[in-house]
Amino acid sequence: MIRAMLYDTKSVETVFGDERLVETWKDDPNKIIWVDLYEVPTEQERELLEKDFNIHPLAVQDATRDRHPPKIEHFEDYLFLIFKGLHTESTLEEFKAIQICIFLGGRFLVTRHTGLSPSVDWVWDQVTGAPSIFERGLKAITLKLMDRIVQRFVPILLALEVRLDEIEHELFEQPRDALMGELSGYKANLKRMRRFFTYHEQILSQLRANPEPYFGKEHRHELNDVYEQLERSMSLAGLYHEIASDLIDGYLALASHRLNKVMQVLTIITVIFVPLSFLAGIYGMNFEYIPELGFKYAYFILLGVMASIVFIQLILFRRRKWL
């Protein structure tokens, strides 16, 4: 699907439509355009990118792939960026990422995403509601989009902090395997986030170090703001990844402790019954001449000896605080 908005720098008017606005843009150097492409890529989109915007075929290939690591690539007439954004259905339990590609040229901005992107939609709605945003240029819109992509991770991370606190209390009050599975899922999602953030940090570091010719000094503060937002997300993701790991280790330690307690009880029971079994085994042998068998009170004496052994062992275990 293709949607577009065309802005006239002279008349300060904005027109909304589809790919047909591209022809109007090509014929008038005073116009700038933002084209947004999403859903399944088509030959029409590829032709639009390669012929109308003169995008390199390899860049088009990267932009239309379902998965590609975030990157920055400088071309002669445009800047090519790939970011990882959150899908509209992303939750704490199910982390879904989409690929957001950005082509920023002197007179055009093209965005391409593999699925529904709340970040792109939010910026699109902002510009639609206030077309005057175009007056600041396509670079400002691109920075606003980058900032929105980064900011969308923060609410999920902050919500995760609350859930991790809840899990910590549940682990001590009512530990169960379901919590272990939930923590493992969070840990895997945080690891993916940290990988994305590392890529994004490399992109933003390059832009801050060498902003020209696509971003000038007037965009320095906005670039710094995006970078600071990203640093915050990286810090939170790293912190919560460590917390999740610690909680998993804590759960395993508690499980091991419970198992040790069970094994301790079983060991004590075994130790108690070993001498009793030994005595029972001796006097249960089928020999005709066992001296004690002929004694009238031998049975009661043996029971007393057994009871004494159990009593003495229980006292020893209690003193050693095994019971």
Over residues 207-244, the pLDDT tens digits come to: 888 777 778 777 888 888 999 999 999 999 999 999 99
Where, residue-wise, is CATH 1.20.58.340 in the chain?
A: 257-319
Render pLDDT for 286-315 as a digit per residue (tens, 0 to 9).
Answer: 777 788 777 788 888 888 988 998 888 888
Residues 73-84 have a mean pLDDT of 91
pLDDT at 230: 92
Highest mean pLDDT among 146-150, 273-277, 285-289: 146-150
Report the candidate in 225, 189, 196 with the shortest Cα–Cα distance to residue 83. 196
Amino acid making up residue 295: F
Separation between Cα atoms, residue 92 and residue 113, nearest integer Å? 22
Task: Inform me whether the pLDDT recorded for 250 exceeds 90.
Answer: no
Residues 24-46 have a mean pLDDT of 86
**Tokens at 235, concatenated:** 């810090």
Render pLDDT for 110-138 as a digit per residue (tens, 0 to 9).
Answer: 999 888 889 999 999 999 888 878 888 89
Where, residue-wise, is CATH 3.30.460.20 in the chain?
A: 1-132
What's the predicted TM-score (pTM) here?
0.79
Number of neighbours of residue 322 by Cβ within 10 angstroms = 13
Q: Of the ranges 65-69, 202-206, 222-226, which one carries the lowest mean pLDDT score? A: 65-69
pLDDT at 56: 92
Q: Is the distance from CB of 280 to CB of 299 less than 8 angstroms?
A: no
Fold of 257-319: Methane Monooxygenase Hydroxylase; Chain G, domain 1 (1.20.58)
Looking at domain 1-132, what is its CATH homologous superfamily? CorA soluble domain-like (3.30.460.20)
